[in-house]
Amino acid sequence: MQKNSTRKAHGAGTIRKKTITKNGQSYTYWEGRVTVGYNQGTGKQIQKSITGKTQKEVQEKINATLTKVSDGTYQEPSRITVSEWLDTWMNTYVESNLKPYTITSYKSIIKNHIAPNLGAKRLQALKGADVQAMYNRLIKKGSSAKTIKNVSAVLHKACLIAMKQGYIISNPCDAAELPKIIKKEINPLTDEQIPVFLEEIKNEAMCNAYALCLFAGLREGECLGLSWKDVDFKRNKITVCQQLQREKNSSKYYIIKSTKGGKDRTIEPPAIAFEYLRAEQKRQAENRLRAGSAWNNPDNLVFTNELGNHFAIYTFYSHFKKIAAKMGCPDARPHDLRHTAATVAIANGADIKSVQEFLGHATADFTLNVYAHVTERMQHDTAARVQSYYDNLEKRA
């Protein structure tokens, strides 16, 4: 049973005093209604019911709600949790737009880092302090700054879409501080190590692939995913437009019709790169004859094993590590061949913009940042050459 008593609250609509009887016990409370918006389809008011123990409490809640409506910060309350939103975000906005490897990576980050720390929290209640607490816990567990940055990137993107959909007003990630990433020092091969490396790979099945990474600055996936159709022997050019990728936490490989940066690039490496490509062409033709009907190279890849199958990225990596250890460089990685290509180009006078396009970096600033040590050395050499010029002028005087 319910009894109502209506009173006019100062400055707002009607606030009603209500009494209900439940299990023989009477309960009294106050209720008011406030317009929080309008239905875009019908134009009708959208009203929210506000309750409290006293008329004053309801009035204060109404005033606070009207202030939020007025300044555009009002949100319709939602009980959706962070985990529930991340599931919706992945299914609706991510899985149809990103590469399989990236999707798997996002799922792993959510499962292993975000969900255990923040998943049960209501999305609307998520604050910067909560995100910061997650970062701090990950640091204590030994997660690297790069890992935490990746976690932040995923959560930030998910919250950005939540903002656009009206679930939250601001992005809580913006109010948290990421740990500083200490940039790893790159270790390109030295002038003395390059000929030693070329000698060491001579008897390797992936010899020509390693050489191409060195001379053309290709990433491992770009090299192993290179197709013969993208090699132009007449013009000595290579179009980099796809890559071989392995699905994270799986042995499945696939060809992605795009590069890491998302843009195709046509490069002109030194002529020596094409000597190794021609050697690979000859080697592959011999393997194909021996394999006969067992030959299988549907993607017309440049680098294949005896049966035409692509090389595994892990095999490419592990064999390189053995070569590097034999050379006395156990910490070297295949990616250092790419660094070597860039370093050699810069040290021999190539401008940063050209090197950026050669490597497929998004910006010249990024290239300059990565290879700052090389450009500093060049600046020093330039200063020495200019000084030598003026010294010679003084001698003539």
Based on the fold, state whether residues 224 and 300 are members of the same structural domain.
yes
- CA torsion angle 139 142 146 150 (round to 10): -70
Same domain flag for 135 and 257: no
Structure tokens at 341: 């290509």
Q: How many domains does the chain have?
A: 3
Confidence (pLDDT) at 79: 85
Question: Looking at 328, 357, 374, which one is the last position of a domain?
Answer: 328
Each residue of 231-262: pLDDT tens digit? 999 999 999 999 988 766 666 777 777 777 77
Q: What is the pLDDT of residue 337?
A: 96
In this structure, are 110 and 34 located in the same domain? no
Range in 56-70, 141-155, 158-172 the model is least confident about:
56-70
Same domain, 89 and 60: no
Residue, of 201 and 78, whose pLDDT is higher? 201
Judged by DSSP in three states, 334 sits in coil
The amino acid sitting at 370 is V
Assess if residue 266 is contained within a domain. Answer: yes
Query: Are 298 and 223 found together in one domain?
Result: yes
C-alpha–C-alpha distance, residues 223 and 208, integer Å:
10
- Say if CB 146 and CB 181 are below 8 A apart: yes
Q: DSSP string of 34-90? A: EEEEE-TTT--EEEEEEEESSHHHHHHHHHHHHHHHHHT--------BHHHHHHHHI
In this predicted structure, what is the pLDDT of residue 8?
Answer: 47
CATH of the domain at 309: 1.10.443.10
Whether residue 359 has pLDDT greater than 70: yes
Q: 162 and 204: one domain?
A: no
Q: Which residues contact 137 (CB under 8 A, 6 or more apart)?
A: 117
pLDDT at residue 116 in the model: 95
Residue-range definition of the domain harbouring residue 20:
2-71
pLDDT at 177 > cutoff 60:
yes
Q: Please state, in angstroms and rounded to a whole number, the distance separating the CA atoms of residues 114 and 111.
A: 7
204 in the same domain as 159: no
What SS3 state is found at 97?
A: coil
What are the helix (H) ranges across the chain? 55-71, 82-89, 100-109, 115-118, 128-140, 145-164, 193-200, 207-216, 220-224, 271-291, 313-326, 335-347, 352-359, 364-370, 372-396
- Asked, for residue 222, whether it belongs to a domain, the answer is yes
| Backbone φ, ψ for residue 390 (5° rounding) | -70, -35
Per-residue model confidence (pLDDT) at position 389: 64
Predicted pLDDT at 66: 85
Whether 383 is in a domain gets the answer: no
Q: What is the pLDDT of residue 377?
A: 62
Distance CA 182, CA 359 (A): 23
Buried b (16+ CB within 10 A) or exposed e, 201-223: beeebbbbbbbbbbbbbbbbbbb
pLDDT of res. 380: 63
| Beta strands 265-267; 253-256: pairing state | unpaired
Among residues 71, 97, 126, the one where a domain terminates is: 71
Mean pLDDT, residues 32-60: 82
Query: Is residue 362 domain-resident?
Result: no
pLDDT at 384 over 70: no
Region 140-153: mean pLDDT is: 91
Question: Are residues 163 and 236 part of one domain?
Answer: no
Cβ pair 359, 367 in contact under 8 A: yes
Assess whether pLDDT exceeds 60 at residue 397.
no
Per DSSP, 125 falls in state G
Question: Pick from 328, 344, 374: which residue ends a domain?
Answer: 328
**pLDDT, mean over the chain:** 86
In a domain, 360, yes or no: no
CB 259 within 8 A of CB 242: yes
**Mean local confidence (pLDDT), 213-235:** 95
Range list of H helices, 165-192: none
**Rounded Cα distance, 230 and 225, in Å:** 11
Q: Positive or negative, the Cα torsion across 163, 169, 173, 177?
A: positive
My answer on whether 223 and 322 are in the same domain is yes
Domain check: are 226 and 167 in the same one? no
CATH code of the domain in which 125 resides: 1.10.150.130
Strand 265-267 versus strand 231-232 pairing type:
unpaired
Same structural domain for residues 126 and 232? no
For residues 149 and 49, membership in a common domain is answered with no
- Over residues 62-88, the mean pLDDT reads 83
